[in-house]
């Protein structure tokens, strides 16, 4: 039996149904599961002596480990590539496909470690990844092996592209796959790696890339296979205006209608972005409990727009946060993503035109904008919301019986000065984004006092940068 005691935290924010917050609180984890949580004085003194590890958390705020619902980790090798710094989505993809065609298994392994290191240092404990390009012997196994080395809870999605440019798709023909091979490999991966039940550390989902890179047949067959195997489905949808125009021109359907036709709505499905989801689409997503991975930084970086997150939440659709690709966000700081979600929701509503109420008052967008997203709302998206989108009830909030996935942030720092004294929880989203002091997954400390415990970060970064130079050399 292994015990971990988080002792006398300045605040523990549980993000349970009541959003309970405890001041001067402690949390006991036993064998990776939360055993007890509450006021520190209710914990017997002998626990301090008997616990395998005690973390003095008097200067910390504790929240559930953050959950990242959408990423493309290999893209950490192509951050800030000059040729696509100022491109929208389709031009950005066309510029990067030729670079990604040079990926190797070692590059996938190393870039996944780098992306996970960045996530862990932000307080993220669970992440998905969408790998949809498989050149030069690359397999999803390479990503899964990297996740195992890092200790993160991982949802590996088997992406795919099958419709190349010669068939009206966006990707070049030399990076697409045969659809029968995609389905066969998907079944292999689920059988070999997918774990079920409480505390699963690695899971597999099926994830044809997008309407503009796979056929309707592959979408349908992937949905059929996923439901036969009992795993989840993931893809991109309605990311920008070009994405919507492609669906209308190619299928004579809006993205949401297209998803409905193919069986891609339901509580076992989550879609990335949904920036351009229309009223009908919002209704369909809410009615079917279809999830959304909201990626605010990427949506701003690629000028895609502002997703209707408050309307989705109010309608009842599950929404979590995603950092998206490291080359469309150029970062993987999930707590920072929560802050951007808050700011973008408020900005989006502030841009609405004035309206006149029934009693003749004029209401401006800025009057209602702050209520669109509070600091705790944003943090709930990054924790409870993400867990819901990934179909997990054992993570995302803190309570006895839950997985011991935690993020601890130091309060006595310059970015938090003057903020944490008033509201240490809200300060996480309102003040300059801090890094985690401790990140704990299944009771295992993966970040201790701001340092990764499983990898030598300078060595990893040096190796990664060498690969990034090699990938882009001569292109």
Q: What is the pLDDT of residues 134-180, one digit of tens each?
A: 999 999 999 999 999 999 999 999 999 999 999 999 999 999 999 99
Strands (E), 165-238: 202-208, 233-237
For the chain, the maximum distance between any two Cα atoms, rounded to a whole number of angstroms, is 70
Averaged pLDDT, 72-99: 95
SS3 labels along 100-140: HCCCCHHHHHHHHHHHHHHHHHCCEEEEEEEECCCCCCCCH
**Distance set, CA 455 to CA 73, 110, 147, 288, 326 (Å):** 17, 11, 12, 42, 20
Residue 50: is it exposed, middle or buried by C-beta count within 10 angstroms (0-12/13-18/19+)? exposed
Tens of pLDDT, residue by residue over 355-386, are 999 999 999 999 999 999 999 999 999 999 99
What are the residues facing 235 on neighbouring strands? 271
pLDDT value at residue 46: 86
Region for residue 305 given its phi and psi (left: phi exceeds 0; alpha: psi -120 to 50; beta: otherwise)? left
Over range 403-420, report the average pLDDT.
Answer: 96
Backbone angles phi, psi at 417, to 5 degrees: -60, 130
Q: What is the mean pLDDT of residues 334-338?
A: 97
Taking the C-alpha atoms of residue 412 and residue 407, their distance in angstroms, rounded to an integer, is 16
| pTM (global) more than 0.85 | yes
Only one residue has tokens 């949905």, namely 223
The mean pLDDT of 91-119, rounded to a whole number, is: 97
Residues in the chain, how many? Answer: 475
Question: What is the DSSP code string of 369-390?
Answer: GGGG--HHHHHHIIIIIHHHHT
**If you average pLDDT over every residue of the chain, what do you get?**
96
Token match 């070049």: residue?
A: 172
Please give the domain boundaries of the chain with CATH numbers for all domains.
3-64+397-452 (2.30.40.10), 66-343+375-389 (3.20.20.140)
| Model pLDDT, residue 327 | 74
């Amino acid at each position: 039996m292994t015990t971990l005691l988080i002792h006398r935290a300045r605040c523990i924010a549980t993000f349970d149904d009541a959003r309970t917050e405890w001041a001067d609180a402690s949390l006991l984890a036993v064998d990776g599961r939360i055993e007890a949580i509450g006021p520190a004085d209710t914990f017997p003194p002998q626990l301090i002596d008997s616990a395998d590890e005690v973390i003095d958390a008097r200067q910390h705020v504790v929240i559930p480990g953050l959950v990242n619902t959408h990423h493309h980790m290999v893209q950490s090798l192509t951050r800030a590539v000059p040729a696509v710094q100022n491109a929208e989505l389709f031009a950005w993809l066309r510029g990067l496909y030729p670079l990604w065609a040079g990926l190797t298994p070692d590059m996938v392994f190393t870039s996944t470690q780098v992306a996970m290191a960045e996530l862990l240092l932000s307080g993220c404990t669970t992440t998905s990844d969408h790998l949809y390009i498989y050149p030069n012997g690359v397999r999803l196994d390479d990503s899964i092996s990297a996740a195992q080395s890092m200790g993160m809870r991982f949802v590996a999605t088997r992406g795919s592209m099958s419709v190349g440019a010669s068939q009206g798709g966006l990707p070049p023909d030399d990076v697409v796959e045969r659809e029968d091979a995609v389905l066969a490999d998907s079944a292999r991966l689920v059988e070999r790696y997918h774990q079920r039940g409480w505390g699963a550390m690695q899971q597999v989902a099926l994830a044809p890339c997008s309407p503009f890179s796979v056929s309707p047949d592959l979408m349908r067959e992937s949905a059929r296979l996923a439901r036969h195997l009992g795993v989840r489905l993931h893809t991109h949808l309605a990311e920008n205006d070009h994405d919507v125009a492609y669906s209308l021109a190619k299928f004579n359907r809006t993205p949401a209608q297209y998803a409905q036709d193919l069986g891609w709505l339901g509580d076992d499905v989550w879609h990335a972005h949904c920036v351009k989801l229309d009223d009908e689409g919002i209704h369909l997503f809410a009615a079917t409990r279809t999830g959304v991975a909201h990626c605010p930084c990427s949506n701003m970086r690629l000028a895609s727009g502002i997703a209707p997150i408050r309307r989705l939440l109010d309608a009842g659709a599950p929404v979590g946060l995603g950092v998206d690709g490291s080359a469309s966000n150029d970062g993987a700081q999930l707590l920072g993503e929560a802050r951007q979600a808050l700011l973008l929701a408020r900005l989006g509503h502030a841009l609405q035109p004035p309206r006149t109420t029934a009693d003749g008052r004029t209401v401006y967008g800025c009057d209602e904008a702050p209520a669109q997203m509070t600091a705790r709302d944003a943090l709930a998206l990054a924790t409870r919301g993400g867990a819901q989108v990934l179909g997990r009830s054992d993570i995302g909030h803190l309570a006895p019986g839950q997985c011991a996935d935690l993020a601890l942030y130091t309060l006595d720092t310059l970015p938090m000065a003057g903020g944490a004294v008033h509201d240490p929880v809200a300060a996480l989203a309102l003040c300059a984004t801090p890094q985690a002091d401790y990140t704990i997954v299944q009771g295992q400390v993966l970040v201790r006092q701001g340092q990764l415990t499983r990898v030598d970060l300078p060595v990893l970064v040096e190796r990664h940068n060498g690969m990034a130079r090699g990938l882009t050399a001569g292109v």
